[in-house]
Amino acid sequence: MSEPLKLAILISGNGSNLQSIIDAIETGGLNAQIKTVVSSNNMAYGLIRATRHGLSTWVIDHHDYQNRDQYDGALQHYLESVGIDYVVLAGFMRILGPAIIKAFEHRILNIHPSLLPAYKGLNTHQRVLHDKATHHGVSIHLVTAKLDDGPIICQARYPIEAGDRVEDLQAKGHRLEHQMYPQVLRWLSDGKLGVEEGRLFYEKALLERPIAFNP
């Protein structure tokens, strides 16, 4: 078996995607090691999830730094000291600056609750309901300096049904997210998914469109 994929998981809240990755590793479905769990919020429930599984944690609060560059610099220094293959953003509510993105170029993954490039940014569920859209979804992409703009690895879509509220869309999206993140990481650990100079390859073929995830 190849060496496990070394991960840093960055969170700010509940950590349900963190839990899905932990479960996949512990059940043998993902050849990876979570080297650290970093939270921007010292009250994040995800920290409790991490400690329950004996994982190393670190809290980095932006209030402790004078500006974003200092914050990113401290985070970058810590992640480099840990030694990781990929940074996994799992509900991390801080925008990373260009310097740290460059330091981990093509090695930062993010999950976003929309079918990118539609509905970048926040409040995606409210916005699709306001627009009376018929479908919504989830995207996993590489992080670049532009917000929610990196190459898209994988997407899953679901219908918006009559009477759906924000909470309903959140629940539908979370069910997909909890399957998608471990799957994408599995592709990376198995060597099926690769990144070369910002271009994505799946089974050595150029990925010309996002992989459609069908649970």
pLDDT in tens, 170-193: 999 999 999 999 999 999 999 999
Domain count, the chain: 1
Q: Are 104 and 87 in contact (CB under 8 A)?
A: yes
| Sheet hosting strand 199-202, strand order edge to edge | 193-196, 199-202, 205-206
Which domain, by its residues, includes 176? 5-212
Known active-site residue 112: yes
Entry pTM:
0.96
Q: Which of 53, 77, 106, 112 is catalytic?
A: 112
By C-alpha distance, which of 125, 129, 132 is closest to 174?
Answer: 125
For residue 163, give every residue at least 6 positions away whose Cβ sits within 8 Å of its Cβ, in sequence order, or none: none
**d(C-alpha 203, C-alpha 182), whole Å:** 18
**pLDDT for 69-126, tens place per residue?**
999 999 999 999 999 999 999 999 999 999 999 999 999 999 999 999 999 999 999 9
Residue range 132-173, pLDDT digits in tens: 999 999 999 999 999 999 999 999 999 999 999 999 999 999
CATH code for position 78: 3.40.50.170
Measured between alpha carbons, how far is residue 202 from residues 16, 45, 98, 207, 208 in Å? 27, 34, 27, 6, 10
